[in-house]
Structure 1
């Protein structure tokens, strides 16, 4: 059975804060980036491998590959699962990946998105994905640093995104 120690949404994917703060806090030894674009492009993968600093085994998978492969991982592989959007996380969960909670990090502003937190902007598509996760019993919480208080995405968004 897969041992996912943290599932995080971070638009930047793997960077220093994830490696140093969240990696150590979670006890991960593997960082799995589930992203269709990055999985198929070694040029895009290079900076993420560098950001891992040699401390973690870094894997790149499409969402579908992650759905197929994560259940095969042994318990010794402590996985920090990274996606850059909630739609991919919802697809993973709907595909049977055992996600217990989603940590929402950085979701930047783009046209059509509404800022709901200092580092989180969402649109209707994002909220549909968070609704799917909630329907599966998976909480989604904004938490910038491990010592920060968790905020449930639906409590933060309220009526901001209709």
Structure 2
């Protein structure tokens, strides 16, 4: 069983806040960016890797590759999963990966999206994915930084 210490949705993926706050606060020693697009883009992988600056290994996997490899992960690895969208987190859970908690810190504003928190805007598909994750027992919280108080998505998304 993989030792997942952090699962976070941030559409920016790896950046300063993730590298200097989240990964350190959760004592992660291995980072997996779960994103089909980035897994196929070596240039973006190089740019995102710079934010970690050799602090730990980082891998860029498709959802399918993550589902294939994660169950066999070395339990000494304290894994941080970084998602661009809650849709990818839901795909992992549907594929049998256990996520006890999902932190959502940033999903950019765009036309047709609803604001749920200061830095979280969701479309209907993202909102449905968050709702389904909660139904499956995942505690979904909002926090920009680990030092902040968390807010529960259950307060803003009512399960059907």
Q: TM-score, normalised by structure 2?
A: 0.95
Alignment of 1:1-150 (within 5 A): 1-150=1-150
CA distance in 1, matches of 2:62, 2:149: 31
The runs of 4+ residues in structure 1 deviating greater than 3 Å are none
1:94-140 Cα offsets, whole Å, 9 max, x none, are: 11112110000111101110122111111211111012111210011
Q: TM-score, structure 1 length as denominator?
A: 0.94
Q: What is the Cα-based RMSD across aligned positions, in Å? A: 1.1
Count of residue pairs brought into register by the alignment: 158
SS of aligned partner of 1:132:
helix
Give the CA deviation at 1:2.
Answer: 0.4
CA deviation after TM superposition for structure 1 residue 157, in Å: 4.8
Gaps of 5+ in 2: none
Question: Matched residues in 2 for 1:37 and 1:128: separation?
Answer: 22
1:40, CA displacement in angstroms? 1.1
Distance 1:142 1:26 in 2: 16
> In the TM superposition, what is the alpha-carbon distance from 1:57 to its structure 2 partner?
0.5
